[in-house]
Amino acid sequence: MMHVKLLRYTPEPDRTVAMSARLCYSPIGAAELETKMSDKEVASLVRRLGQMGHTSTFEHVSFTFAIEGVSRVLTHQLVRHRIASYSQQSQRYVKEHDFETILPPTLAARPECKKEFEDLCGRIQDLYNKWTEAGVPAEDARYILPNAAETKIVVTMNARSLLHFFQLRCCSRAQWEIRALAWEMLRQVKEVAPILFEKAGPTCESDRVCHEGKMSCGRLAKLLAQDAAQAAEKKA
């Protein structure tokens, strides 16, 4: 089962971003600005920065997650997000004598497929154990391990990178496992940085745009209709 924990983050992330942005236009220093800005001013400035797309100051705050119970299918996708730091459990140094697997829901729902999956993974485990016990280095025996093998990883991203990550991976078109991870990460960062991530999520929600073309899920049209209805109510 997937487990995600926000281990560390920059203290008062919303305030740190606001202070950094205000410094660019202030004759006083950052330390003094930090004490002079009210919570209302912080919230207003962070929202304005997001609306204007001036998000370079979002890079001053970072978030570190411990992620467990996920497949290497997921982590192969995750590490494609380049502006981040990763430390993953090594199959070279950690022997997989009793590896766990992540079973996709579509296979779990089909008894025959589930059995074939489990039988194959059991066969792989037997071969892996046989080879390593015969002296084959773990770094070579791992070549037989499946993408379904469970792994653990620590990830650090700044707020700007996280917002981009959420735009791509919270989308309904994203692969199911990394989408579940993205939504859980978003839930946790919202608890500590509610203004920064107030409008975070897929682009249809954050920017009212969809880049999926003909493969769009159709949610954007519904959101635009809701916006139009709300605007009409305000005018009435």
pLDDT of residue 184: 98
Is the CB of residue 70 less than 8 Å from the CB of residue 155? no
Active-site residue identified among 15, 160, 169, 179: 169
Whether the pLDDT of residue 153 is over 80: the answer is yes
pLDDT of residue 45: 93
Domain boundaries in the chain? Answer: 3-70+75-84+151-201, 103-148, 204-236
Token pair 């001053």 is at which residue?
60
CATH for 103-148 is 1.20.5
Q: What is the mean pLDDT of residues 185-194?
A: 97
Domain 3-70+75-84+151-201 identical in fold to domain 103-148? no
Q: Could you tell me the end-to-end alpha-carbon distance of the chain, in angstroms, rounded to an integer?
A: 50
- Least reliable range by pLDDT among 2-16, 20-34, 51-65, 130-144: 20-34
Which option is the CATH number for 3-70+75-84+151-201: 3.30.1360.170, 3.30.1330.200, 3.50.50.60, 3.40.50.300? Answer: 3.30.1360.170
Q: What is the mean pLDDT of residues 182-198?
A: 97
Q: What is the mean pLDDT of residues 187-199?
A: 97
Mean of pLDDT over the chain: 94
Whether the pLDDT of residue 231 is over 90: the answer is no
Write down the pTM of the prediction: 0.92
Catalytic site residue 169? yes
The secondary structure of residue 213, as a DSSP letter, is: G
The secondary structure of residue 55, as a DSSP letter, is: -
Residues 94-104 have pLDDT tens digits of 999 999 999 99
Token duo for residue 145: 């391990």
pLDDT of residue 33: 74
